Structure 1
Amino acid sequence: MKKIILLAFAACSTVGVFAQKYDDIKGMLALGQYAKAKELYDKNSANEKFFTKPEGYLIKAAIFSALAVDESKAAESVTNRNAADEALKKYKELDAEMKLLEDPIYRNTPYNLYAAYFNAGVADINDKKYEDAYDKLKNTVEYSDLLISKKIIDKKMDTAALYYAGLLAENIKRPEDAAKYYLRLSEAKIKEYNGTSYESVYQGLMRYYASKNDSENFEKYKALGKELYPDSEFFTYSMLDFALGSSSDFNERLASLEKHIASNPDDYRANLALAEIIYDTIDSRKEGAVRPDNYDELETKMINALKKAASLKPEEVQPYLLMGDHYLLKSEKFREAMIAAETEVTKKGSKATAQDKQKYADAKKAYNEVYDLAKDSYEKAAELYGKMPQLDANQKRSYRVIAGNLAEYYSYKIEDAKGADRDKFAAQEKKWDDLFSKLK
């Protein structure tokens, strides 16, 4: 029992000794003599018992944080800042309430770290080191939150630190982090700070929720942005606008639109837009355009989107026009194959084999099937144009092209037709040819 009592007494004596050492170092800190404070710290911290109490780590943080913002020691600022940061985190781990920060001598510790990280972050921004700048601004926000929570500074939030942390996070493609900072600013409806407009905060939130296909929050922050910046065109954009303008790369735009449609299957404009960007790719008229390897997959997606669009707005002409144009262009490829096969049979004459003739028959059948699809789409478009009370110049021009295409279709069908079918096709050819002339 005596031995236990003696050990306990010895431990208390040790704590008392180091409490005195703490006071000696604090005295130097109070006088602003940081070099002497560090000398005392170096001398005493070699003994691991210096860190028996959490205050040992706070003293270390206090010394190195002060040195981190000492302009005369700029060459050591990173080492000093990191040492202070690590020590303060260790102190917080041992004393979650951080009660000692109420001591006036220690109150500058988190503030010094805040300033050190903020200044270093600004320097990185100026050097275009945005990844590094974000890491420092992220720490700046953490320290500003600590300063506010401990009432070391009297403000509700550090708007500048939050703003720049958000901008940097978005710049380096960390949308989740950016949204976290932007949301804090938006909750307070911060419109501007020190003459700087914070419109980009609300723009960023719209971009973020558009990427998530979260229409509810997208509309929420669109409305808030419109309220704060009523003259900005940005807050008139729809989620579809973001899907269309998310990238200039075809595959990225396609993926973005498909993602949007998955959440908004009845969006007419989105389905039509999806079909249009595919059409511009698989039916490109650009010189040197190459047929994509996944043509069949893309064509299926395009036709499905056009059929969906047509079902959503059966009065709209555009889906039928695109289908008609696509099938007409596609049929030309089959027509070339049909003509080549027919030429081969004609050239061989009586020597043409059954295989030659079958090849021609198959090519002609394939051509007819696709050409028929073009005709069906054009006739539906023509029917819609015919119901319009008045056509503008573009509609009239489109209607005339359709009439010309249909006249050519029925002229082709006459070639192999007989009897009543021939008369029917001839009547249709005349009908569309007359309309073509009338619309001139």
Structure 2
Amino acid sequence: MLLSIAIISVATAQDFKKVETNVYLKKFEEAKTEIDKSMADPKNQAKAEGYYWKSRIYAALFQNEATRAKYPNAVEDAHAAFQKYAEMDPALAKVKEKGADGYFDMYATSFGVGINSFKEKKYDAASKEFEKAVVYSDYIFKNKWASSQQPFDTTSILYCAYSFQNAQKPDDAVKYYTRLAESKVTGEGFADIYKYLVDYNTKKKNKEGFDKYMALGKEVYPAENWEDFEIEYIDQNYDLAGKTALYDEMDAAGTLTESKYLQFGDVFVSVRNEDGVDSATIDKYNRKAIDAFKKAYGKNNNNAIAAFNVGVTYYNFFNLEDDKYAANIKKLQEINASKPVIKDPKKKAAAEAEHKAKVDAIKNANAAIEKVSMENVDIAAEWLSKSFMILKDKTPRTNTEKSVINKSVDFIANIYYYKMGRVRGKDAKLFDQYEAKYKEFDALHSTFK
């Protein structure tokens, strides 16, 4: 019995002796010839050692640029052999005995080829190479075959995710970003990993995933602006009633920050852009937006954007009233133009009374409109002036702040021009005051660069 075992062992060793010799001499094409011959024998196909040598040889052919071109299927053949070997020898005993060179060849070459494809913007091809790089780097790091003690190769995983992202394959990209995020990786630009996962789960309407990666992002990058993503989730996944209820709930609980008040205000003021919304609903949400903007300003009275948003919303109210006023003037002109000429004294008196009633109704309506308009422009001027005062001496200003201050002075100038018209010929002192203000702000048009 012992003799039989010895004979089998010698036979097995002899099956791969030439293969092994050629590998150690780095004669990989000769080694390929020998391993192909050996693996053609059915008995060798049942031996893990055969797949070990085949994977190592074909990996070396893939690693060398010349033989890679000569044997274009080497990488697929190597990959299949590695997988078969791992199935037959889960403990990787032969690797530990003979060396992990093949794994390093597959990792380094796949990564290098992937980088070249990535630079050429061939993202589908790059992603396939980086996937292999991740597979083989995992073997290397898991088994501690490299000097590095890190648990995985961050760079390969990151490039794999980048490639899938650029190839417009977010589901695949997320698999790799998830692995990095759950290990709480940090580094320059790595905050975008967590942001990508948060955005992905927002689009997928996955509240559990959203909350998970928001929490991880906040933990490892607490200085990043995560509130924008929270509002974005609400905006995309809640209907108007849900947004309103959530705002009211958080407002009552005192959990809304300056930024969230501002963002909820933006949500509410945008209702006017939705299809099929009636004017009463638009007005309701404009006023809810004002409430949110005022509370943002209450949290920080240097928030020029919040002040501007209050002012411009009231300015829009004024424009709506002014349009009504202008429409009534047109009606009045039409009534006067179509007034019939009646000579019969009896009929004339009745017609005059009817005409006067129509004219008086419009004049009374416009008097009421003018009162509301004046109230709106006064409030608008107050808040736009706050925005102006906050920004006029600020340096440097962001592009948004430049836009806000330039619009503020234009709107304020328009308001005083309107007020001049209301008192013209009625109150000279007020007219002069309004004219001076108009000239002051009109002179500032487009001066804030």
Give the alignment's TM-score, normalised by structure 1: 0.62
Amino acid at match of 1:147: I
Select 2:156's aligned residue among 153, 158, 161.
161
Alpha carbons of 1:89 and 1:183: their partners in 2 closer, same or farther (altered >3 Å)?
Answer: same
Aligned to 1:222: 221
SS in 2 for 1:238: coil
C-alpha contact (below 8 Å) 2:271/2:285 kept by paired residues? no
Alpha carbons of 1:44 and 1:77: their partners in 2 closer, same or farther (altered >3 Å)?
Answer: closer
Aligned to 1:239: 226
Deviations 1:376-399 (A, max 9, x none): 5444456779999x9997789976
C-alpha contact (below 8 Å) 1:209/1:215 kept by paired residues? yes
Aligned to 1:324: 314
Deviations 1:300-320 (A, max 9, x none): 765543332234546764343
Aligned to 2:294: 310
Deviations 1:285-341 (A, max 9, x none): xxxxxx986676888765543332234546764343122111223344444544444
C-alpha contact (below 8 Å) 1:331/1:370 kept by paired residues? yes
Q: C-alpha separation between the residues in 2 aligned to 1:82 and 1:359? A: 89
Alpha carbons of 1:41 and 1:218: their partners in 2 closer, same or farther (altered >3 Å)?
Answer: closer
Q: Superposed, which structure 2 residues align to 1:182-197 within 5 Å?
A: 182-183=180-181, 187=185
Alpha carbons of 1:114 and 1:377: their partners in 2 closer, same or farther (altered >3 Å)?
Answer: same
Select 1:51's aligned residue among 29, 45, 53.
45
C-alpha contact (below 8 Å) 2:59/2:78 kept by paired residues? yes
Instruction: Report deviation, 1:134.
Output: 2.9
Q: C-alpha separation between the residues in 1 aligned to 2:391 and 2:82? A: 73
Select 2:75's aligned residue among 60, 76, 81.
81
Identity of matched residues, %: 17
Alpha carbons of 1:375 and 1:183: their partners in 2 closer, same or farther (altered >3 Å)?
Answer: same
Instruction: Report deviation, 1:70.
Output: 2.6
Deviations 1:60-103 (A, max 9, x none): 21221121113331324541011111221222234333222112
Q: C-alpha separation between the residues in 2 aligned to 1:375 and 1:93? A: 83
C-alpha contact (below 8 Å) 1:206/1:221 kept by paired residues? no
Instruction: Report deviation, 1:358.
Output: 13
Alpha carbons of 1:76 and 1:358: their partners in 2 closer, same or farther (altered >3 Å)?
Answer: farther
SS in 1 for 2:221: helix
Q: C-alpha separation between the residues in 1 aligned to 2:28 and 2:386? A: 88
Aligned to 2:397: none
Unaligned runs of 5+ residues in structure 2 are: 201-209, 342-350, 393-404, 441-449
Q: C-alpha separation between the residues in 2 aligned to 1:73 and 1:359? A: 97
Q: Superposed, which structure 2 residues align to 1:351-390 within 5 Å?
A: 375-381=374-380
Q: C-alpha separation between the residues in 2 aligned to 1:359 and 1:49? A: 108
SS in 1 for 2:138: helix
Aligned to 1:92: 86
Aligned to 1:66: 60
Unaligned runs of 5+ residues in structure 1 are: 1-9, 190-197, 224-234, 247-251, 283-290, 413-425
Amino acid at match of 2:292: K
Instruction: Report deviation, 1:180.
Output: 3.9
Instruction: Report deviation, 1:272.
Output: 3.7
C-alpha contact (below 8 Å) 2:314/2:379 kept by paired residues? no
Q: C-alpha separation between the residues in 2 aligned to 1:370 and 1:75? A: 82
Instruction: Report deviation, 1:407.
Output: 7.2
Q: C-alpha separation between the residues in 2 aligned to 1:369 and 1:16? A: 109
**Does 2:132 correspond to 1:139?**
yes
Instruction: Report deviation, 1:118.
Output: 1.5
Q: C-alpha separation between the residues in 2 aligned to 1:339 and 1:100? A: 96
Q: C-alpha separation between the residues in 2 aligned to 1:51 and 1:325? A: 83
C-alpha contact (below 8 Å) 1:170/1:178 kept by paired residues? no
C-alpha contact (below 8 Å) 1:323/1:374 kept by paired residues? no
Alpha carbons of 1:68 and 1:386: their partners in 2 closer, same or farther (altered >3 Å)?
Answer: closer
Q: C-alpha separation between the residues in 1 aligned to 2:361 and 2:189? A: 60
C-alpha contact (below 8 Å) 1:66/1:109 kept by paired residues? yes
C-alpha contact (below 8 Å) 2:318/2:376 kept by paired residues? no
Amino acid at match of 2:312: L
Alpha carbons of 1:330 and 1:381: their partners in 2 closer, same or farther (altered >3 Å)?
Answer: closer
Aligned to 1:151: 144
**Does 2:193 correspond to 1:199?**
no
**Does 2:30 correspond to 1:36?**
yes
SS in 1 for 2:338: helix
Higher relative contact order (CA 8 A, sep 6+): 2
C-alpha contact (below 8 Å) 2:311/2:382 kept by paired residues? no
Q: C-alpha separation between the residues in 2 aligned to 1:137 and 1:148? A: 16
Deviations 1:244-303 (A, max 9, x none): 9x9xxxxx9x859999x8798734445545756997997xxxxxxxx9866768887655
Aligned to 2:111: 118
Q: C-alpha separation between the residues in 2 aligned to 1:14 and 1:373? A: 104
